[in-house]
Amino acid sequence: MKLLLTGTTGQLGTAVAEIAPQRGVRIVPLVRRARPGQIPFGRAFPSLASAQVTGDVREPLWGLAEADLDELAGSVDAVVNLAGDTNWAGSGRDLYAVNVLGARGGHEVARELQRRSGRRIVHVYASSIFAAGGTLGRIAENPLGPDRHRTAYEHSKWLAERELERMHTPGDPDVLISRVAALLGDSRTGATRRRNSLYLLAERWDELPGRVLPAMRGAKVDVLPRDTAAGTLLDAVAGLLRSGPRREPVITHLSAGERAPTIRGLLEVARALSPQSFGKWLRIVPASAEQVLWLSGNAERYLPLSPAWRNSIIGLRYIGLDRVMERGRLAELVDGPLPDPSTELLARLLFDLPEPQRPTAPADSGLSRFLA
Protein backbone atom coordinates (compact mmCIF):
# COMPACT_ATOMS: atom_id res chain seq x y z
CA MET A 1 0.00 0.00 0.00
CA LYS A 2 1.30 3.46 -0.91
CA LEU A 3 -0.17 6.63 0.58
CA LEU A 4 -0.07 10.30 -0.27
CA LEU A 5 0.06 11.59 3.32
CA THR A 6 -0.52 15.09 4.68
CA GLY A 7 0.21 16.05 8.29
CA THR A 8 3.22 13.72 8.49
CA THR A 9 4.91 16.04 11.00
CA GLY A 10 1.86 16.09 13.32
CA GLN A 11 1.03 13.88 16.30
CA LEU A 12 -0.83 11.25 14.28
CA GLY A 13 1.26 11.59 11.11
CA THR A 14 4.51 11.04 13.01
CA ALA A 15 3.11 7.79 14.41
CA VAL A 16 1.92 6.67 10.95
CA ALA A 17 5.37 7.42 9.50
CA GLU A 18 7.03 5.46 12.34
CA ILE A 19 5.01 2.29 11.93
CA ALA A 20 4.60 2.35 8.12
CA PRO A 21 7.85 0.47 7.32
CA GLN A 22 6.93 -2.43 9.66
CA ARG A 23 3.63 -2.73 7.84
CA GLY A 24 5.09 -2.55 4.35
CA VAL A 25 3.33 0.77 3.76
CA ARG A 26 5.11 3.35 1.61
CA ILE A 27 4.55 7.06 2.10
CA VAL A 28 4.74 10.12 -0.11
CA PRO A 29 4.57 13.03 2.35
CA LEU A 30 3.03 16.32 1.26
CA VAL A 31 5.08 19.06 2.92
CA ARG A 32 4.33 22.78 3.08
CA ARG A 33 6.62 25.14 1.20
CA ALA A 34 7.26 27.36 4.22
CA ARG A 35 7.33 26.05 7.79
CA PRO A 36 8.91 28.93 9.68
CA GLY A 37 10.38 28.08 13.08
CA GLN A 38 10.06 24.32 12.54
CA ILE A 39 12.71 21.67 12.08
CA PRO A 40 13.26 21.18 8.31
CA PHE A 41 11.30 18.18 7.10
CA GLY A 42 14.36 16.38 5.73
CA ARG A 43 16.06 16.55 9.12
CA ALA A 44 13.01 15.34 11.07
CA PHE A 45 12.17 12.54 8.60
CA PRO A 46 15.37 11.70 6.69
CA SER A 47 14.02 8.43 5.30
CA LEU A 48 11.04 10.26 3.70
CA ALA A 49 12.91 13.32 2.41
CA SER A 50 13.49 12.05 -1.12
CA ALA A 51 9.84 11.01 -1.57
CA GLN A 52 8.28 14.33 -0.49
CA VAL A 53 6.09 16.53 -2.67
CA THR A 54 5.37 20.19 -2.00
CA GLY A 55 1.88 21.57 -1.40
CA ASP A 56 -0.61 23.19 0.96
CA VAL A 57 -4.02 21.72 1.76
CA ARG A 58 -5.66 25.16 1.63
CA GLU A 59 -4.95 25.46 -2.11
CA PRO A 60 -6.97 23.94 -4.98
CA LEU A 61 -5.69 20.42 -5.69
CA TRP A 62 -3.49 21.04 -2.62
CA GLY A 63 -1.14 23.13 -4.79
CA LEU A 64 0.40 19.96 -6.25
CA ALA A 65 2.50 20.40 -9.41
CA GLU A 66 1.30 18.74 -12.65
CA ALA A 67 4.31 16.45 -12.74
CA ASP A 68 3.65 15.35 -9.14
CA LEU A 69 -0.01 14.61 -9.93
CA ASP A 70 1.05 12.43 -12.89
CA GLU A 71 3.61 10.60 -10.79
CA LEU A 72 1.20 10.09 -7.85
CA ALA A 73 -1.61 8.87 -10.14
CA GLY A 74 0.54 5.98 -11.24
CA SER A 75 1.61 4.92 -7.78
CA VAL A 76 -0.54 5.76 -4.75
CA ASP A 77 -3.52 3.74 -3.50
CA ALA A 78 -4.89 6.25 -1.02
CA VAL A 79 -4.89 9.97 -0.28
CA VAL A 80 -4.70 10.25 3.52
CA ASN A 81 -5.32 13.71 4.94
CA LEU A 82 -4.02 14.09 8.50
CA ALA A 83 -3.28 17.81 8.10
CA GLY A 84 -5.32 19.94 10.41
CA ASP A 85 -5.55 23.13 12.35
CA THR A 86 -5.86 21.58 15.81
CA ASN A 87 -5.91 24.74 17.89
CA TRP A 88 -9.15 24.34 19.84
CA ALA A 89 -9.16 28.08 20.49
CA GLY A 90 -8.10 29.03 16.94
CA SER A 91 -9.86 31.53 14.67
CA GLY A 92 -12.87 30.27 12.71
CA ARG A 93 -11.27 31.51 9.49
CA ASP A 94 -8.01 29.55 9.92
CA LEU A 95 -9.88 26.46 11.09
CA TYR A 96 -12.12 26.62 8.03
CA ALA A 97 -9.23 27.08 5.60
CA VAL A 98 -7.23 24.07 6.78
CA ASN A 99 -9.94 21.71 8.00
CA VAL A 100 -12.79 22.31 5.54
CA LEU A 101 -11.04 23.54 2.38
CA GLY A 102 -8.36 20.92 3.07
CA ALA A 103 -10.99 18.15 3.11
CA ARG A 104 -12.54 19.44 -0.10
CA GLY A 105 -9.12 19.69 -1.77
CA GLY A 106 -8.29 16.15 -0.65
CA HIS A 107 -11.35 14.79 -2.41
CA GLU A 108 -10.45 16.73 -5.55
CA VAL A 109 -6.91 15.32 -5.45
CA ALA A 110 -8.19 11.74 -5.03
CA ARG A 111 -10.68 12.27 -7.87
CA GLU A 112 -7.98 13.69 -10.13
CA LEU A 113 -5.56 10.85 -9.40
CA GLN A 114 -8.28 8.29 -10.08
CA ARG A 115 -9.22 10.06 -13.32
CA ARG A 116 -5.62 10.22 -14.55
CA SER A 117 -4.79 6.63 -13.71
CA GLY A 118 -8.09 4.79 -14.14
CA ARG A 119 -7.14 2.93 -10.93
CA ARG A 120 -9.21 2.80 -7.75
CA ILE A 121 -7.96 5.33 -5.22
CA VAL A 122 -9.50 5.95 -1.80
CA HIS A 123 -9.65 9.17 0.19
CA VAL A 124 -9.19 9.17 3.97
CA TYR A 125 -9.98 12.22 6.08
CA ALA A 126 -9.04 12.51 9.75
CA SER A 127 -12.04 14.05 11.46
CA SER A 128 -12.54 14.10 15.22
CA ILE A 129 -14.82 12.39 17.71
CA PHE A 130 -15.31 15.95 19.01
CA ALA A 131 -17.32 16.79 15.88
CA ALA A 132 -20.11 15.30 18.02
CA GLY A 133 -20.30 18.68 19.83
CA GLY A 134 -22.64 18.31 22.79
CA THR A 135 -24.17 14.95 21.76
CA LEU A 136 -24.45 12.48 24.64
CA GLY A 137 -25.09 8.75 25.06
CA ARG A 138 -24.18 6.23 22.38
CA ILE A 139 -22.93 7.98 19.25
CA ALA A 140 -23.27 6.02 16.02
CA GLU A 141 -20.82 6.08 13.11
CA ASN A 142 -23.31 8.07 11.07
CA PRO A 143 -23.53 11.66 9.82
CA LEU A 144 -24.13 14.10 12.67
CA GLY A 145 -26.84 16.76 12.75
CA PRO A 146 -26.53 20.45 13.62
CA ASP A 147 -25.65 21.17 17.26
CA ARG A 148 -25.59 24.55 19.00
CA HIS A 149 -22.86 23.48 21.40
CA ARG A 150 -20.02 23.02 18.90
CA THR A 151 -16.87 25.10 19.35
CA ALA A 152 -15.28 26.69 16.26
CA TYR A 153 -12.88 23.72 15.98
CA GLU A 154 -15.65 21.13 16.32
CA HIS A 155 -17.76 23.07 13.83
CA SER A 156 -14.94 23.03 11.27
CA LYS A 157 -14.54 19.25 11.57
CA TRP A 158 -18.30 18.78 11.26
CA LEU A 159 -18.46 21.05 8.20
CA ALA A 160 -15.61 19.07 6.64
CA GLU A 161 -17.57 15.83 7.10
CA ARG A 162 -20.66 17.40 5.54
CA GLU A 163 -18.61 18.72 2.65
CA LEU A 164 -17.29 15.22 1.90
CA GLU A 165 -20.80 13.75 2.09
CA ARG A 166 -22.07 16.48 -0.26
CA MET A 167 -19.23 16.09 -2.78
CA HIS A 168 -19.34 12.32 -3.02
CA THR A 169 -21.00 11.09 -6.22
CA PRO A 170 -21.18 7.60 -7.79
CA GLY A 171 -17.88 6.60 -9.35
CA ASP A 172 -15.95 8.93 -7.06
CA PRO A 173 -13.09 7.66 -4.88
CA ASP A 174 -14.39 5.88 -1.79
CA VAL A 175 -14.18 8.06 1.31
CA LEU A 176 -13.24 7.03 4.84
CA ILE A 177 -14.05 9.64 7.46
CA SER A 178 -12.06 8.55 10.49
CA ARG A 179 -13.21 10.35 13.63
CA VAL A 180 -10.08 10.34 15.74
CA ALA A 181 -10.13 10.29 19.55
CA ALA A 182 -7.83 12.49 21.64
CA LEU A 183 -4.26 11.33 21.20
CA LEU A 184 -1.58 10.75 23.82
CA GLY A 185 2.08 9.94 23.15
CA ASP A 186 3.63 6.68 22.00
CA SER A 187 2.58 3.71 24.16
CA ARG A 188 6.15 2.42 24.53
CA THR A 189 8.21 5.60 24.81
CA GLY A 190 5.67 8.26 25.79
CA ALA A 191 7.09 10.45 22.98
CA THR A 192 4.59 13.09 21.99
CA ARG A 193 4.73 15.70 19.24
CA ARG A 194 2.37 18.04 21.03
CA ARG A 195 0.69 18.26 24.38
CA ASN A 196 -3.00 18.76 23.76
CA SER A 197 -5.41 20.02 26.40
CA LEU A 198 -5.65 16.66 28.09
CA TYR A 199 -1.99 17.07 28.96
CA LEU A 200 -2.82 20.55 30.19
CA LEU A 201 -5.00 18.89 32.81
CA ALA A 202 -1.79 17.35 34.13
CA GLU A 203 0.19 20.57 33.76
CA ARG A 204 -2.47 22.72 35.44
CA TRP A 205 -3.10 20.25 38.23
CA ASP A 206 -2.03 22.68 40.92
CA GLU A 207 -3.65 25.74 39.33
CA LEU A 208 -7.26 24.62 38.87
CA PRO A 209 -9.50 27.20 40.56
CA GLY A 210 -11.10 25.84 43.73
CA ARG A 211 -9.44 22.43 43.14
CA VAL A 212 -12.63 21.26 41.43
CA LEU A 213 -13.26 19.54 38.13
CA PRO A 214 -16.86 19.66 36.89
CA ALA A 215 -17.92 16.46 35.11
CA MET A 216 -21.07 14.44 34.51
CA ARG A 217 -21.47 11.32 36.59
CA GLY A 218 -20.08 8.55 34.40
CA ALA A 219 -18.09 10.98 32.22
CA LYS A 220 -15.56 9.19 30.01
CA VAL A 221 -12.17 10.05 28.58
CA ASP A 222 -11.83 8.62 25.08
CA VAL A 223 -8.10 8.71 24.36
CA LEU A 224 -5.61 6.52 22.51
CA PRO A 225 -1.83 6.35 22.40
CA ARG A 226 -0.82 7.74 19.03
CA ASP A 227 0.84 4.55 17.77
CA THR A 228 -2.30 2.53 18.57
CA ALA A 229 -4.38 5.03 16.60
CA ALA A 230 -1.92 5.00 13.69
CA GLY A 231 -1.88 1.19 13.47
CA THR A 232 -5.66 0.96 13.51
CA LEU A 233 -5.93 3.72 10.91
CA LEU A 234 -3.64 1.82 8.54
CA ASP A 235 -5.67 -1.35 9.16
CA ALA A 236 -8.87 0.54 8.31
CA VAL A 237 -7.40 1.97 5.08
CA ALA A 238 -6.29 -1.52 4.04
CA GLY A 239 -9.77 -2.82 4.93
CA LEU A 240 -11.45 -0.19 2.77
CA LEU A 241 -9.16 -1.01 -0.17
CA ARG A 242 -9.96 -4.73 0.21
CA SER A 243 -13.72 -4.16 0.30
CA GLY A 244 -15.89 -3.26 -2.67
CA PRO A 245 -16.89 0.26 -3.74
CA ARG A 246 -19.12 2.22 -1.34
CA ARG A 247 -22.09 4.36 -2.27
CA GLU A 248 -21.51 6.75 0.63
CA PRO A 249 -18.58 7.87 2.78
CA VAL A 250 -17.75 5.33 5.49
CA ILE A 251 -17.60 6.88 8.95
CA THR A 252 -15.61 5.19 11.74
CA HIS A 253 -14.66 6.07 15.30
CA LEU A 254 -10.91 5.62 15.73
CA SER A 255 -11.29 5.57 19.48
CA ALA A 256 -11.38 3.51 22.65
CA GLY A 257 -15.18 3.47 22.37
CA GLU A 258 -16.88 1.38 25.04
CA ARG A 259 -13.45 0.61 26.54
CA ALA A 260 -12.74 4.27 27.38
CA PRO A 261 -12.20 4.77 31.13
CA THR A 262 -14.28 7.15 33.22
CA ILE A 263 -12.54 10.34 34.34
CA ARG A 264 -12.93 9.14 37.94
CA GLY A 265 -11.37 5.77 37.12
CA LEU A 266 -8.50 7.36 35.21
CA LEU A 267 -7.62 9.79 38.01
CA GLU A 268 -7.89 7.12 40.72
CA VAL A 269 -5.61 4.78 38.80
CA ALA A 270 -3.12 7.63 38.33
CA ARG A 271 -3.15 8.34 42.07
CA ALA A 272 -2.78 4.66 42.94
CA LEU A 273 0.20 4.35 40.58
CA SER A 274 2.11 7.28 41.98
CA PRO A 275 0.55 9.05 44.98
CA GLN A 276 3.58 11.30 45.45
CA SER A 277 3.27 12.71 41.91
CA PHE A 278 0.19 14.72 42.84
CA GLY A 279 0.02 17.66 45.22
CA LYS A 280 -3.42 18.42 46.55
CA TRP A 281 -6.07 16.10 45.16
CA LEU A 282 -8.85 17.39 42.93
CA ARG A 283 -12.53 17.04 43.66
CA ILE A 284 -14.70 15.92 40.76
CA VAL A 285 -17.95 17.83 41.15
CA PRO A 286 -21.00 16.29 39.50
CA ALA A 287 -22.31 18.64 36.81
CA SER A 288 -24.97 18.49 34.13
CA ALA A 289 -24.05 18.24 30.45
CA GLU A 290 -25.40 21.74 29.94
CA GLN A 291 -23.10 23.11 32.66
CA VAL A 292 -20.00 21.36 31.30
CA LEU A 293 -20.75 22.47 27.74
CA TRP A 294 -21.61 26.03 28.70
CA LEU A 295 -18.53 26.50 30.87
CA SER A 296 -16.15 24.98 28.34
CA GLY A 297 -17.65 26.98 25.47
CA ASN A 298 -18.21 30.38 27.08
CA ALA A 299 -15.74 30.99 29.92
CA GLU A 300 -13.58 33.22 27.73
CA ARG A 301 -16.47 35.67 27.32
CA TYR A 302 -16.29 36.53 31.01
CA LEU A 303 -12.70 35.79 32.02
CA PRO A 304 -9.49 37.16 30.51
CA LEU A 305 -7.97 33.84 29.42
CA SER A 306 -4.69 33.21 27.62
CA PRO A 307 -4.93 30.96 24.51
CA ALA A 308 -3.45 28.08 26.54
CA TRP A 309 -6.07 28.49 29.26
CA ARG A 310 -8.84 28.72 26.64
CA ASN A 311 -7.64 25.42 25.21
CA SER A 312 -7.65 23.89 28.70
CA ILE A 313 -11.16 25.08 29.48
CA ILE A 314 -12.46 23.79 26.14
CA GLY A 315 -10.77 20.50 27.02
CA LEU A 316 -13.13 20.16 30.01
CA ARG A 317 -15.83 18.90 27.66
CA TYR A 318 -13.53 16.11 26.44
CA ILE A 319 -13.27 14.67 29.93
CA GLY A 320 -16.59 15.76 31.39
CA LEU A 321 -19.30 14.26 29.17
CA ASP A 322 -20.95 10.87 29.47
CA ARG A 323 -20.94 9.37 25.98
CA VAL A 324 -19.67 6.35 24.11
CA MET A 325 -18.38 6.28 20.56
CA GLU A 326 -19.68 3.17 18.78
CA ARG A 327 -17.12 1.15 16.78
CA GLY A 328 -19.15 -1.37 14.78
CA ARG A 329 -18.09 0.07 11.39
CA LEU A 330 -14.47 0.22 12.51
CA ALA A 331 -14.69 -3.46 13.47
CA GLU A 332 -16.00 -4.30 9.98
CA LEU A 333 -12.96 -2.67 8.36
CA VAL A 334 -10.22 -3.72 10.76
CA ASP A 335 -9.02 -7.27 10.52
CA GLY A 336 -8.18 -7.85 14.20
CA PRO A 337 -8.88 -6.55 17.69
CA LEU A 338 -10.00 -2.97 18.23
CA PRO A 339 -7.93 -0.58 20.37
CA ASP A 340 -8.22 -1.44 24.06
CA PRO A 341 -5.61 0.59 25.95
CA SER A 342 -5.35 -0.15 29.68
CA THR A 343 -6.34 2.63 32.08
CA GLU A 344 -2.92 2.26 33.70
CA LEU A 345 -1.15 2.96 30.40
CA LEU A 346 -3.34 5.99 29.70
CA ALA A 347 -2.76 7.38 33.21
CA ARG A 348 1.00 6.91 32.84
CA LEU A 349 1.11 8.66 29.46
CA LEU A 350 -1.14 11.52 30.54
CA PHE A 351 0.63 12.30 33.79
CA ASP A 352 4.08 11.13 32.74
CA LEU A 353 4.20 8.72 35.68
CA PRO A 354 7.29 6.61 36.29
CA GLU A 355 7.29 2.88 35.61
CA PRO A 356 6.58 0.87 38.78
CA GLN A 357 9.65 -0.41 40.62
CA ARG A 358 9.39 -4.18 40.86
CA PRO A 359 10.22 -5.27 44.42
CA THR A 360 13.50 -7.16 44.57
CA ALA A 361 13.95 -10.01 47.00
CA PRO A 362 16.11 -9.05 49.99
CA ALA A 363 19.43 -10.83 50.41
CA ASP A 364 18.12 -12.64 53.48
CA SER A 365 16.90 -15.94 52.07
CA GLY A 366 14.87 -16.47 55.22
CA LEU A 367 12.71 -13.43 54.42
CA SER A 368 12.51 -13.73 50.64
CA ARG A 369 10.13 -16.68 50.80
CA PHE A 370 7.44 -14.25 52.04
CA LEU A 371 7.71 -12.20 48.78
CA ALA A 372 7.18 -15.09 46.39
Pick the piece of the chain touching ligand NAP (CB under 6 A) from 54-62, 108-116, 328-336, 356-364. Answer: 54-62
For the window 124-163, what string marks contact with ligand NAP as x by the rule CB under 6 A? --x-x-----------------------------------
Asked if 255 interacts with ligand NAP (CB under 6 A), we say no
Q: Is 247 exposed, middle or buried (0-12, 13-18, 19+ CB in 10 A)?
A: exposed
What minimum distance in Å lies between the beta carbon of 137 and ligand NAP?
Answer: 20
The total number of residues written for the chain in this structure:
372
Mark the segment that binds ligand NAP (CB under 6 A) among 56-64, 167-175, 290-298, 340-348: 56-64
187 binds ligand NAP (CB under 6 A): no
Give the residue from 56, 182, 70, 172 showing the smallest Cα distance to 121: 172
The secondary structure of residue 257, as a DSSP letter, is G
Cα-to-chain-centroid distance, residue 159? 17
- Shortest CB 64 distance to ligand NAP, Å: 11
Which residue from 3, 4, 6, 187 is in contact with ligand NAP, where contact means CB under 6 A?
A: 6
- Residue 192 · residue 185 · CB < 8 Å: yes
Q: Which of 3, 5, 10, 187 binds ligand NAP (CB under 6 A)?
A: 10
Which of 183, 284 has the CB closer to ligand NAP?
A: 183
Task: Indicate whether 311 belongs to the interface with ligand NAP (CB under 6 A).
Answer: no
Q: What is the DSSP string of 17-64?
A: HHHTGGGT-EEEEEE-S--TTS--HHHH-GGGGGG-EE--TTSGGGG-
Under the binding rule (CB under 6 A), the answer on residue 9 touching ligand NAP is yes
Which of helix, strand or coil describes residue 313?
A: helix
Cα–Cα distances (Å) from 64 to 84, 136, 371, in that order, read: 18, 40, 64
The yes or no reply on residue 110 touching ligand NAP (CB under 6 A) is: no
* Among 11-19, 212-220, 341-349, 356-364, the segment contacting ligand NAP (CB under 6 A): 11-19
Q: Is 82 in the site for ligand NAP (CB under 6 A)?
A: yes
What single-letter amino acid sits at 363?
Answer: A
Query: Does residue 95 interact with ligand NAP by CB under 6 A?
Result: no
3-state secondary structure of 362: coil
Q: How far is CA 124 from the centre of its chain?
A: 13
Nearer to ligand NAP, 180 or 324 (CB): 180
Q: Which residues of this chain interact with ligand NAP, rule CB under 6 A?
A: 6-13, 32, 35, 38, 56-58, 82-84, 86, 98, 126, 128, 180, 182-183, 193-194, 196
